[in-house]
Structures are given as structure tokens and as C-alpha cells.
């Protein structure tokens, strides 16, 4: 989608629709006030007549063809003026776009919703809301009834161009991630994920190394090999790198890349297997982040690691009671083959630690226990650095991606203590998200590490906020924003 800056002279503009904002109790934005004045109070009169209150995500339209250069006003509620926050702008813009689609309009102009309250970055959040809500995974659909909106006019001046670009990069990275996550297991297998990474690296100027089975054996990545050995489609390990010459910091991001998870020999029940194409959401998030980083070009090194495998119950599949010895010397008893994500992440964490980064962030649809604890809309945070946890949480408030810290409770380490090996790959049903994080911690040799359990919000079975059913792209926008902040990347310079 293209965004066109058209300045602020409303009377000189024309088109099918103009989107304006209204707060609770019919408090108008400056642009809405200007329109109401031009219409001699007819806007307020209309809203009172239909009992429109300005509630968030409530949107109406008003025909104004004979009174303005637009056919319609799209009026979107912003909620309480004093409680306006970034995600409310995304929601309001998404609600307005939905109304535009219902009316089958194009040539639409948006005012900069909420800018009089929240400043220049409001336009970034509006752009994100529009792009995220405009997303549909239609590749395999024969018919598409909805109007395709290819451009949006923005009622802002050119000096705010950078905030618009940031919004575009963040949302497009999330949508790129969503496309990959939504692809089924017969389309994206470990080798396909590797080929996507290779193509992406060539397109945007990243370095890319892919480890096949021989290289995985040479590097003693026994977790990835074990999980992938039951599938006809062999596993891979992918290393993408962005290395600018003047980088002062080095970061490693890791994404779990189980392209389909049947559970292995501990096979999943039908209702839990259906959406398991989404078990590669962490890996796809790495690809989305690296794509954006290559375009944004911050002055920091970023390495994206993806351990990729398909977990299947074939004749060569790994078994309960197997023992795997990892490169760092730790031995792991397999108690459940459906706790496979932590095994491939263990290899990646060892590899990441060898890169001597300032911070490691891993992202994984790791545990159903995290969904039980926090619900479907919140990711769990585990970290050995309280300040890092706070940073991610605060950025999440801006991006609208929710995170909640859970403890690395050392008392629960007894749960994963092995009988015949050092540790086992699963504890009891109690504190399952915590014991999974404690397992990962055994393979981290970095002062600053954070594990994001995105099992809940990475993939939704019904629409929520500005997301349709399917992949959301969580936590792409948060991790990207954090990386840019750490690199002192200028917003709105």
C-alpha cells in the first residue's frame, strides 16, 4: 500500500472519503472541528441524531457529496481524550478502514488521528493500524469480494515522512511474517524456510549460511538432528547476518522453526494439531525482523538464527527415553517428543552464545502452559536481566503487543532434573512455561538473555483488534522497535 502526503488544506482536497476522529462526548479533533465549521454544525448535529458517542472502534459514515469535495465522511471513535494511547490510534484507524471496505471505496484520505494529543508519532501508529488491518492471506482463495485499497492519502506535511516510513517498515515486516506463518506445512518445510532465507538475503543485502545434515553433525547440533530425523524432510539451521562497518553493539535473535509439529511419537490430539503450521512463528518473525533491519540500516550488528525441523512420527523418529548430548556437554533425557522446540532452541542458544553478543532474544511458540497462565493475547517474558524485561514490556505498551514477566524460579529446576542424563526435556504439568524456560537457560552463556514465549498471540483462531484470524506477526514490531532504540536510531529526525 502506498501512502501519499497531501498537506493540510482540506478545502483543496477531494475524493471518495475523508476519515476524521471524534473523542468521547463528541469532542472533535481540530480537523473534525474545521469540517464541522465548514458544514455549519451539521457534523455534530448528525452525530447527536444517530446517538454516536465517540467510543473507540465505533465508526459511522455521513454522506456529504453536495456539501464538500468528498462523497463521505468516515467518523471513527477515539475513546476518552485523556486516555488516548498508541494502540487506540491503531484500533481507530483499523475500524475506519473496515468501514471504507464495507462501502467499497477507494481514494480515501485520513487525518492524522490523535496527533494533537500524542504528537508526530501518531501518524506512525495510524499507518501501522491501516496496514495491519488491511492484511488478508488470500493466496489460496479463488474469489475476493472486498475492494482492494492500494493507496491512502494522509492529511500531513512532508516533515513527518520518517514516522510514516517507520510505521510502514514495522507493519510490513509483521505482515511478511504473517504470510510465512500462514503457509501450510506442505508448502513451507525446513528446506523451504532455508531457501526463503537465502532469497531474502540476496534481495536485501544480508549474509546467509545454511547448515544441512552433514554440517549439523559436524557442529554437534544434536537437538535439531534428533527432532528432524523422523521426517522425510530433513532439518536445517539458518544464520542470517546484518553487519554494518560502524556497529557498536551485537545482538542475536533466535526463532523456533518447527515447520509442522505433529508431536512426534507422543502424537498430539486432533484439536491441538490443526494449527501447528504456526509452530514456525518464531522463525518467521526472525525473517521479518531481518528484512526490516536490512532496509532501516541501524548501526548495530544483528544475527538472526533459525533452527528448523519438522516433528513427525516416522520410523526414524526420536523416542521417549532417548538421551541427547549437546555440544556444551549437557545430556538430555527425552520424556516427551512433543516438547521438541526447546531441543532445537538449545542448539541455537549454544551457537548464539559463541557469537559473544550483547543480548540474545529468542522467540518461540513454546508452551501451551504459557497460554493457560496468560491467555491467548499475552506473551510470557523470561530473562536473566530485569532491565531488559522492563524495556520489552514498555515497548510492548507502545506497539500494542502485550508481554508479562514470569519467574525463572530456581526451585522448579528439580522438575527437570534427569535420572540418567543431566536434565530432562519436560517437567510436570505445573509451571510448564517456567520449566521450559529453565531448560533453555541451561544452554545460555550470555549476560543478557530474554526468552519470549509467544504461544498465545502469535496465531489467533478468531479476529482480534486489527488482526484477522491466523498469524499476527507478534513479536516483530516490539523486537524491531527495541533494536532500533538500542542502536539510537532516530525517530522523526
> Can 429 be counted among the known catalytic residues?
no
Answer yes or no: is 492 within a domain.
Answer: no
Answer for the pair 197, 306: CB distance below 8 angstroms, yes or no.
Answer: yes
3-class secondary-structure state, position 208: strand
User: 107-158: per-residue pLDDT in tens?
Assistant: 999 999 999 999 999 999 999 999 999 999 989 988 755 557 889 999 998 8
Instruction: Answer yes or no: do 146 and 195 share one domain.
Output: no
Structure confidence at residue 146 (pLDDT): 54
Instruction: Answer yes or no: do 31 and 131 share one domain.
Output: yes
Q: Report the alpha-carbon distance of residue 54 to residue 201 in Å, rounded.
A: 46
Q: Which of 128, 155, 182 is the last residue of a domain?
A: 155
Q: Report the alpha-carbon distance of residue 67 to residue 42 in Å, rounded.
A: 10
pTM: 0.96
Instruction: Answer yes or no: do 139 and 174 share one domain.
Output: no
Burial class (CB in 10 A: 0-12, 13-18, 19+), 208: middle
Give the domain range for residue 350.
170-486
Answer yes or no: is 106 within a domain.
Answer: yes
- Catalytic entry in 189, 277, 342, 477: 342
The predicted model gives 390-418 an average pLDDT of 97
Instruction: DSSP letter for 269, please.
Output: P
pLDDT of 245 over the 90 cut:
yes
Structure confidence at residue 145 (pLDDT): 57
- The CATH number of the domain holding residue 479 is 3.40.630.10
Answer yes or no: is 161 within a domain.
Answer: no
**pLDDT category, 341, cuts 50, 70, 90?**
very high
Number of domains in the chain: 2
Q: Which of 105, 122, 155 is the last residue of a domain?
A: 155
Rama region for 268: left / alpha / beta (φ>0; ψ in -120 to 50; rest): beta
Torsions phi, psi for 64 (to 5 deg): -140, 25
> Can 319 be counted among the known catalytic residues?
no
Instruction: Answer yes or no: do 362 and 423 share one domain.
Output: yes
Answer yes or no: is 164 within a domain.
Answer: no
Q: Which of 155, 185, 208 is the last residue of a domain?
A: 155
User: 147-194: per-residue pLDDT in tens?
Assistant: 578 899 999 988 889 999 999 999 999 999 999 999 999 999 999 999
Structure confidence at residue 80 (pLDDT): 97
Instruction: Answer yes or no: do 29 and 130 share one domain.
Output: yes
Answer yes or no: is 493 within a domain.
Answer: no
Q: Grid coordinates representing 353?
A: 552464545
- Catalytic entry in 81, 268, 327, 376: 268
- The CATH number of the domain holding residue 93 is 3.40.220.10
Sign of CA dihedral 303, 179, 294, 396: negative
Answer yes or no: is 234 within a domain.
Answer: yes
Amino acid at each position: 500500500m502506498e501512502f501519499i502526503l497531501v498537506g493540510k488544506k482540506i478545502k483543496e482536497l477531494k475524493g471518495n472519503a475523508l476519515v476524521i476522529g471524534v473523542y468521547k462526548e463528541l469532542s472533535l479533533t481540530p480537523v473534525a472541528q474545521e469540517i464541522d465549521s465548514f458544514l455549519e454544525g451539521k457534523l455534530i448535529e448528525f452525530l447527536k441524531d444517530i446517538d454516536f458517542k465517540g467510543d473507540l472502534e465505533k465508526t459511522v459514515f455521513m454522506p456529504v457529496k453536495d456539501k464538500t469535495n468528498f462523497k463521505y465522511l468516515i467518523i471513527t471513535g477515539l475513546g476518552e481524550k485523556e486516555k488516548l494511547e498508541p494502540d487506540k490510534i491503531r484500533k481507530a484507524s483499523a475500524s475506519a478502514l473496515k468501514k471504507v471496505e464495507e462501502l467499497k471505496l477507494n481514494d480515501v484520505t485520513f487525518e492524522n488521528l490523535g496527533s494533537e494529543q500524542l504528537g508526530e508519532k501518531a501518524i506512525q501508529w495510524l499507518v501501522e493500524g491501516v496496514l495491519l488491518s488491511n492484511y488478508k492471506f488470500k493466496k489460496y482463495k479463488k474469489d475476493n469480494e472486498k475492494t482492494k485499497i492500494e493507496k491512502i492519502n494522509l492529511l500531513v506535511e512532508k516533515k513527518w515522512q520518517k514516522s510514516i516510513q517507520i510505521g510502514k517498515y514495522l507493519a510490513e515486516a509483521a505482515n511478511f511474517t504473517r504470510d510465512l506463518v500462514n503457509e501450510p506445512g506442505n508448502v513451507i518445510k525446513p528446506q523451504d524456510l532455508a531457501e526463503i532465507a537465502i532469497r531474502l538475503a540476496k534481495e536485501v543485502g544480508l549474509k546467509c549460511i545454511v547448515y544441512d545434515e552433514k554440517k549439523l553433525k559436524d557442529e554437534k547440533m544434536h537437538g535439531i538432528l534428533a527432532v528432524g530425523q523422523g521426517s522425510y524432510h530433513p532439518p536445517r539451521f539458518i544464520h542470517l547476518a546484518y553487519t554494518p562497518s560502524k556497529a557498536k553493539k551485537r545482538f542475536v535473535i533466535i526463532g523456533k522453526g518447527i515447520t509442522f509439529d505433529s508431536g512426534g511419537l507422543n502424537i498430539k490430539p486432533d484439536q491441538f494439531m490443526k494449527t501447528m503450521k504456526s509452530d514456525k512463528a518464531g522463525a518467521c518473525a526472525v525473517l521479518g525482523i531481518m528484512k526490516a533491519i536490512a532496509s532501516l540500516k541501524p548501526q548495530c550488528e544483528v544475527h538472526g538464527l533459525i533452527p528448523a525441523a519438522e516433528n513427525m512420527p516416522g520410523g526414524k523418529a526420536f523416542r521417549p527415553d532417548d538421551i541427547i548430548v549437546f555440544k556444551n556437554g549437557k545430556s538430555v533425557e527425552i520424556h516427551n517428543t512433543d516438547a521438541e522446540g526447546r531441543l532445537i532452541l538449545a542448539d541455537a542458544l549454544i551457537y548464539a552464545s559463541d557469537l559473544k553478543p550483547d543480548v540474545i532474544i529468542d522467540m518461540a511458540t513454546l508452551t501451551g502452559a504459557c497460554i493457560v497462565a496468560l491467555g491467548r493475547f499475552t506473551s510470557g517474558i523470561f530473562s536473566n536481566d530485569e532491565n531488559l524485561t522492563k524495556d520489552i514490556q514498555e515497548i510492548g505498551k507502545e506497539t500494542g503487543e502485550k508481554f508479562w514477566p514470569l519467574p525463572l524460579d530456581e526451585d522448579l529446576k528439580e522438575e527437570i532434573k534427569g535420572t540418567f542424563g543431566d536434565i530432562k526435556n519436560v517437567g510436570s504439568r505445573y509451571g510448564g512455561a517456567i520449566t521450559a524456560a529453565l531448560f533453555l537457560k541451561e544452554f545460555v552463556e550470555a549476560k543478557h538473555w530474554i526468552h519470549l514465549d509467544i504461544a498465545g498471540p502469535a496465531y489467533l483462531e478468531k479476529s482480534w483488534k486489527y488482526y484477522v484470524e491466523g498469524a499476527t506477526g507478534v513479536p516483530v514490531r516490539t523486537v524491531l522497535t527495541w533494536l532500533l532504540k538500542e542502536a539510537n536510531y532516530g525517530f522523526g529526525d
